[in-house]
Every structure is written in structure tokens, then in C-alpha cells.
Amino acid sequence: MRVLAFSLLLTVSALAAPRYNEFLYGVAYYPEHWPEKSWERDAKLMKEAGVNVVRIGEFAWYLMEPREGVFDFSLFDRAIAVMAKYGIKTILGTPTAAPPKWLTSKYPETLAVYSNGRPADDQTRRHYCYNSPVYRRLSKRIVEEMAAHFKDNPHVIGWQIDNEFNCHISECYSDSCRAAFREWLREKYQDLQSLNERWGNAFWSQWYTQWGQIDLPFPAPAYHNPALMLEFKRFISDSVRSYQRDQVEIIRKYRPNDFITHNGYFKNIDYYLMSRDLDIFAFDNYPCFNNEPRFPVGSKLTMARSFHDRFMIMEQQTGPGGQAYLLRTPRPGEMSLWAFQAIAHGADGMVHFRWRTARKGAEEYWSGVLEHDDVPRARYEEFKKEGADIGRIAKEILGSRLVSDIAVLKDFDAEWVYDYQYFTSEVNVGASFDHLFRAASEARYNIDFIGRHADFNRYKIIFGPQLILMDPDLALKIRKFVEQGGTFIMSAHSAAKDRDNGMTPHVKPILVNDLFGVEVIDFQCYQPPSRGKNAIRFEDGALVPVNVFADVLKTTKATPVAVWDQDYMKGTPAVTENRAGKGRAVYYASFFNLEAARELIRRYAAQYGLKPLMDGVPAAVEVTRRSKGRNHYYFVLNHENETVTIKPGAGYFDLLANTPAPAVLTLKPFEYKVLRRTQ
Ligand code: GAL
């Protein structure tokens, strides 16, 4: 009995071992682009730079299945073996982002279709339809052949499903999608009557009498029903999920111990849902899409980290990048600084894009560690130093987490509602996340973004930016969070509609007006948006400009802490606090712009006595903290091209220098440090 219990325990713990369990450092490698005789040198140079993994295969369907039903993985067998000789493991990408020519010419119905009815051109990538039965069948088959072929290969450790779902094209209007959409709705609503009622189809005579009358939201003379638009987005997201799941199930069958991931963060996917099928979420990090990447990239990383318990970088910018366009080049030191910024924000793996710049094709301007001429230069040296730095921290920081008192609630449904009913281009839910991230980072706090199914009680302060849809579960969750001592700060135009994306007979903010102690009785939308038209004046005199939106409030129970400064609502409440249980529900009657984010974080962090992660840090320097057990790891990143001094005080150990850190440190331009402090 005892033996049985023991072996049962062993089995359970073996099953529970995480599939992702090593800090990976590596590159995207395309052996099919290079003469085989160069592979060995590549592997040697990689090894010298500290590389322990390559990702390969994700665009090579044409090689793996050169003719329909004929499979050949031999090139990859050989490439994996060469890498393995140098201790480098492999992540295999399933090749479905780039179907071979024979496939799209023989089965044109597999192509994605634009809203104008034209099929996507098949001369680049990502031109397939997730719901095409033929594409689904052929995708499953190539993945099955691949997984079966590599079943016993000890050098393969993980899989990337496809590549960047919804990059380039995030909506499809094919016949397959139309049929699948009807089916998806039928399953959800069961009967047409209930769909008609929930969508309000009495409006403009849109009452369906047959499922076959429902269509995708093609361009139309007037605007579409918001209910249809939201369901279309949810349908796209579910289509991606189920397409991904096909592949996950096959790989799990053959390689149950490998980790499975997907890379990228694009439109029309609820990543909280799609990541549930993965072992780790991977983000592709290209800071040079921003001229000043520090804050926007920090915010993106915070979002990517929020989708799953584990997070890594599958593609990290290395050199300049471009296709028909050209982005700015990272200055010496920035490539590794940005890699460390990603690690500072929780990445447990760092794979650079790409080993060598392609000599031909659409990405001949997208630089790798080595350039076209193959000469290792400064970028290789920087990559090598980064590899050594990662080697010094990898074991310790693997699995450590950012712990935050402040969170921002992300609801993909709400984002999709605003994608269609956007009011004006300055209403941008995403921007609120960037502002809140920036304000928290400037004040030296960690901040989390969370989905609505996350545990709210880990936090002291939660922001709800433009949470336009409210439902009883979310309302209850917010109430409990507040009653147990939290502060929930909700922006204007939240809780305006139900989950069907329709208005309701309830007083706004619906389902939570009692908790917030306010009624929204009117609103103003400034057109064109401008800073001069109104502002919010706090009781302590702080004045926060607003650019777009002003809710007009009537307080029922709440106490105003700020009033409108101009317009017909001048002097009426603009920010209110309502005590409930041990906490507070705060209504902020405009959107969270940067000034608002700074003011609100300052005000409520002070009320909870939150301490900055580190004192004595100049503005140029970003600080985050990852924690594991009693150890705290402070990532200190100098984002400026100048030497700066920081004064963290005594008691830190400099992991990269492997020595106790002095109380006062200098950081060279773009330098980073990782300081450990043990509690
Ligand atoms: C990513 C993609 C890569 C490569 C890279 C640089 O979006 O996954 O395959 O295209 O960008 O453009």
C-alpha cells in the first residue's frame, strides 16, 4: 500500500514537472537558407556566444512536404544533429504559417479572404483561412507527420505552433468562415429567437428567420450592429484557438514532455483563453517599431507576461529591421539592454531574431546577429556578452516572478467593442495601459496587467480602463475585491453595456452603480479631442487635463474628490470615492491619460503606503523586481546614452559582476545590472 502510494506520488510529481524548465538563450535559425557546409561553423559560433537553443522550421513546409503526401524531414534531422554536437537544443516550429505553392494552387479555397471578397495573394505568408476544412486537414497531417518523425529525437525540447497568428491579416471573410460562423452562433445561442432578441434585430428589420441569413460583417451601406461585430471578433479568436488546439493535441500525443508555445501578440485573439493550451507564452519583441521604446515596450511586455504563468521571448530584435520600410538601428548596447528589459519584465527565455540576415527575400533588411557577409562584428560581440550575462543569472532567476500591488484589468471583449465603436481616434483602450504602465514605472512600482479571471485579491489597487461591458460575475468580483480592502478605480464609459454589447435599462454604471455610489447621467465627447476644453480639479489643487471624454455624475453615496473645471458640468463631481467594506470604489469620469495615471497612482499608492522598489534612481533608469522565495532580483536598466549614478544603498549583490554591490553605482550608457537582495 505504502509502495503504491509512493509510486503514485512519484507519477504525479513527474507529471507535474514543468515542461519548460531551463532558461533558453538562442536564435531563430533557417538551415534551409544556407549551404549545409556552413552549419557547423554557425553552431560553433553560437556555442561560443552561450547559445543553448535554436528555433527552426516554421516556414519550411515546402521542404517537409515537397509534394502532396510526400514527406521529408531529413534536412532538419541533419541540422538538429549538427546543433546537438555543440550542445544546442531545438525548438521546432510547425510550418503552417507558410503553405507550399502546390497547396494553394491546388486548393485555392484554403486562402483567407478580405472583406472585399478577394482572396489573399499567396506570394508571401499567413494567407490561409483557419476554418478551411482542407487547410485544417492538411495542417493536421503535416504536424502529425512531423511529430511522429521527431518522436524519439532527444535534441528537440519544444514546439512553436505556427507563427504569429493574426499577424498581417486578422479577419477572414471566406465561405468557410461564413459557414463556421453560423455554426458557432448556432451552438452558442441554440435558437434563433434568442439570438434575435439578444442582438436587438428588430432594429432596421434585421430579424433573422433562418440561420443561413446570418453573414459576416462585410462592408455595408451603414454601420453594423455592435452585437454582430463583437461576436465576429469572438468567433475569430475561437477559430484561432481551435486551429491551434488541433496541433497541440497531435504534438502532446507524440511528445508529451516537450513544451508547446506560440509567439506573438496581435489583434482579435483573446490571449488569456488561447494561452491555456500552451505551456509557456512567447512574445516577439521588436522595440524599434517605437522610436522611444522604453515605456511602450515595457507596457507590451507587461501585457505579454499577463497571458500565462510563464513567458519567454521567441524573437528579440537584434539589429536594424525593415522590409519595404526601414526602422531605426539599435545603438551599440541597446540590443542587449532591450533583451534585459524583457527579462526584467519576466521573460524566462531569450531567443533572438535571427542568426544571420537573409540574403534574399522580403526580409533581406531584417538583421541578424551576423550580417550578409557572415563576418562576426560588433553585434556578434554584443550578443556574446549578452549570452555570458544571461549565463550568470539564468539558474537563479528562472521561475522568479514580478509581484505587484497594482494591476490593470484587461478585457479583450471591451477592446473589441471599442475597435468598432471607437468614437474618435483618440479613444484608445490600449493607450490607457501604456499610460498606467508608464506612471507606475516612473514611480518605481511593479505593475501587472490581468485578465478578468485572475485573482483580484493579490492586489491593493486595480484600474479598470474603459471596461465598457459589465456582467454579474465581474460586478461581484469587483465588489468582493473592494469589500476586502482593495481600491478599484474605474474610468469613464465603463459598465455601459452588457456582454451582448447592447445597452440595458439599468442605471449606469450598470450593476455597479451602488458599489461606486454614483449615477452617470450624461456625457460629453470633445470633438475634435483637445486638451483645452476641460480638466479635472482635485481637492488638493492638482489639475489633470482631459482630451476626449467627460462623464456627468450624480453622486448617490460617493464622496467627490475632484470636480470638472469647465463646460456645463463645471463644479460637478469628476472623481468620486465610495467606501464599501474595507475598501473603496473610485469612479474616474474621464479616460486614463498619462497625467491622470500619474495623479491616481501617486494618490492611492500613498494611501496604502506603497514603497518604491528602489530609491536614488534617476529618471533615465528603469527598475523592476522579480522575486523567488526570499530572493529579490532588481533589474536596473539605463535607457539613456549617458552615464548615470544610482544610489540603491547597501545590501545588494551584483549578479553580473559576481560581487557585493557598492551603495553607489554608475551605469554606463545602456548598461544594465541585476542586483540580488535576500530578505
Ligand atoms: C516577426 C516574424 C518573423 C520575422 C520578423 C521580422 O513578426 O515572426 O518571421 O518576419 O517578424 O520581420
At 149-179, the pLDDT tens digits run: 999 999 999 999 999 999 999 999 999 999 9
Residue closest by Cα to atom 10 of ligand 1: 363
- Residue 324 vs residues 79, 321, 362, 366: alpha-carbon distances, Å: 31, 10, 8, 10
Q: Ligand 1 atom closest to Cα of 263?
A: 8
DSSP string, 637-661: EE-SSS-EEE---SS-EETTTTEEP
Res. 3: pLDDT tops 50: no
At residue 15, the pLDDT reads 52
| Neighbour tally for 390: CB within 10 Å | 23
Give the residue whose CA is nearest to atom 9 of ligand 1. 163
* Confidence check: pLDDT of 4 > 80: no
Q: Does 11 have pLDDT greater than 50?
A: no
**Does a structural domain hold residue 172?**
yes
Residue 660's domain comprises 621-678
Q: Are residue 413 and residue 394 in the same domain, yes or no?
A: no
pTM across the whole model: 0.96
Report residues whose beta carbon is within 6 angstroms of any ligand 1 atom.
163-164, 167, 284, 315, 321, 353, 363, 366
Q: What is the pLDDT at residue 16? A: 61
Sign of CA dihedral 422, 424, 425, 431: negative
Interval between CA 534 and ligand 1 midpoint (Å)? 43
Residues 456 and 520 in one domain: yes
Residue 54 forms part of a structural domain: yes
Residues whose CB falls within 8 Å of the CB of residue 164, separated by 6 or more in sequence, listed in order = 97, 126, 263, 264, 266, 284
Q: Which atom of ligand 1 is nearest to the CA of 323?
A: 12
Mutate to test the pocket of ligand 1, among 58, 124, 284 (most ligand atoms within 8 A of CB): 284
Ligand 1 atom 5, closest CA: 353
Angstrom distances, CA of residue 351 to CA of 51, 55, 670? 9, 8, 20
| Mean pLDDT (whole number) for 205-222 | 98
Among 366, 400, 434, identify where a domain stops. 400
Catalytic residue among 65, 144, 164, 595: 164
pLDDT tier for residue 523 given thresholds of 50, 70 and 90: very high
Same structural domain, 417 and 300: no
Listed residues 400, 417, 444: the one ending a domain: 400
Shared domain check, 464 and 326 = no
Q: Rounded CA gap, 525 and 496, in Å?
A: 15
Please state the domain count of the chain.
3
Cα-to-centroid distance, 602 and ligand 1 (Å): 39
Please report whether residue 194 resides in a domain: no
418 in the same domain as 391: no
Q: What CATH number corresponds to the domain at position 625?
A: 2.60.40.1180
422 and 389, same domain (yes or no): no
pLDDT at 10: 44
Ligand 1 centroid – CA 282 distance (Å): 13
Contact 275, 307 (CB under 8 A): yes
Q: How confident is the model at residue 402 (pLDDT cuts 50, 70, 90)?
A: very high
Tell which of 400, 421, 450 closes a domain.
Answer: 400
Cell numbers 490607457 correspond to 432
Ligand 1, atom 6: nearest CA belongs to which residue? 366
> Rounded to the nearest whole angstrom, what is the distance from the C-alpha of residue 333 to the centroid of ligand 1?
22
394 plus 413 within the same structural domain: no
Cα 423 to middle of ligand 1, angstroms: 32
pLDDT of residue 1 exceeding 60, the answer is no
> Is pLDDT above 70 for 292?
yes
Asked if residue 202 belongs to a domain, the reply is no
Pocket test for ligand 1, best of 353, 355, 357, 367 (most atoms within 8 A of CB): 353
Q: Is the pLDDT of residue 6 over 50?
A: no
pLDDT in tens, 632-678: 999 999 999 999 999 999 999 999 999 999 999 999 999 999 999 99
668 and 603: one domain? Answer: no
For ligand 1, mutation pick of 263, 283, 363, 369 (most atoms within 8 Å of CB): 363
Quote the mean pLDDT of the chain: 96
Tell me the CA–centroid distance for residue 319 and ligand 1, in Å: 13
Which atom of ligand 1 is nearest the CA belonging to 163? 8
Distance between terminal CA atoms of the chain?
Answer: 42
302 C-alpha to ligand 1 centroid (Å): 21
pLDDT of residue 12: 44
CATH number of the domain within which 416 lies: 3.40.50.880
Continuous segment of H or E residues that includes residue 240: helix 226-254
Cα(622) to ligand 1 centroid in Å equals 27
- What is residue 668's DSSP assignment? -
pLDDT digits (tens, 9 = 90+) for 570-612: 999 999 999 999 999 999 999 999 999 999 999 999 999 999 9
Distance from the CA of 284 to the center of ligand 1, in angstroms?
8
Amino acid at 580: A
**Distance in angstroms (rounded) separating the CA atoms of residues 241 and 233:** 12
Residue whose C-alpha cell is 485555392: 108
Task: Determine what percent of the chain is predicted with pLDDT higher than 90.
Answer: 95
The best mutation among 261, 315, 326 to test binding of ligand 1, ranked by most ligand atoms within 8 Å of the C-beta, falls on 315
Residue 39, number of CB atoms within 10 A of its CB: 18
Atom of ligand 1 nearest to the CA of 59: 9
Contact predicate 577/585, CB 8 Å? yes
If you compute the radius of gyration of the chain from its CA atoms, what whole number of angstroms results?
A: 26
Burial class (CB in 10 A: 0-12, 13-18, 19+), 11: exposed
**Residue 209 within a domain:** no
| Helical ranges in 114-209 per DSSP H | 133-149, 175-189, 192-199
How far is the C-alpha of 23 from the C-alpha of 42, rounded, in Å? 21
**Does residue 9 register a pLDDT over 50?**
no
pLDDT over 60 at 5, yes or no:
no
Residue of 164, 267, 318, 364 to mutate, ligand 1, most atoms within 8 A of C-beta: 164
pLDDT score of 326 more than 50: yes
Q: Give yes or no: residues 336 and 454 share one domain.
A: no
Closest CA to 500 of 470, 528, 472, 522: 470
Q: Are 365 and 313 members of one domain?
A: yes
CA distance 158 to 92: 6
CATH number for position 348: 3.20.20.80
Cα 278 to ligand 1 centre (Å): 21
- Write down the number of H helices and E strands in the chain: 18, 27
* CB-CB contact of 496 with 509 (8 Å): yes
On whether residue 31 sits in a domain, the answer given is yes
The whole-number average pLDDT for the span 327-351 is 98
Task: Verify whether residue 164 is a known catalytic residue.
Answer: yes
Q: Are residues 505 and 458 in the same domain?
A: yes
Q: Is residue 253 part of a domain?
A: yes
In-domain check, residue 480: yes
In whole angstroms, give the CA distance from residue 618 to residue 333: 19
The answer to whether the CB of 117 falls within 8 A of the CB of 173 is yes
- Interval between CA 60 and ligand 1 midpoint (Å): 14
Q: What is the pLDDT of residue 430?
A: 82
Separation of CA 623 and ligand 1 centre (Å): 29
At residue 319, does pLDDT exceed 70?
A: yes
325 & 456 share domain: no
Q: How many Å lie between the centroid of ligand 1 and the Cα of residue 28? A: 10
CA gap 496, 503 in Å, rounded: 7
For the stretch 525-579, pLDDT in tens is 999 888 889 999 999 999 999 989 999 999 999 999 999 999 999 999 999 999 9
With both helix axes pointing from N to C terminus, report the angle between 429-442 and 594-608 in degrees, rounded to the nearest 10.
50
Grid coordinates representing 405? 500591488
pLDDT tens, 42-88? 999 999 999 999 999 999 999 999 999 999 999 999 999 999 999 99
| Identified catalytic residue from 65, 315, 382, 415 | 315
The pLDDT assigned to 531 comes to: 85
- Kindly tell me if the per-residue pLDDT of 345 is higher than 60: yes
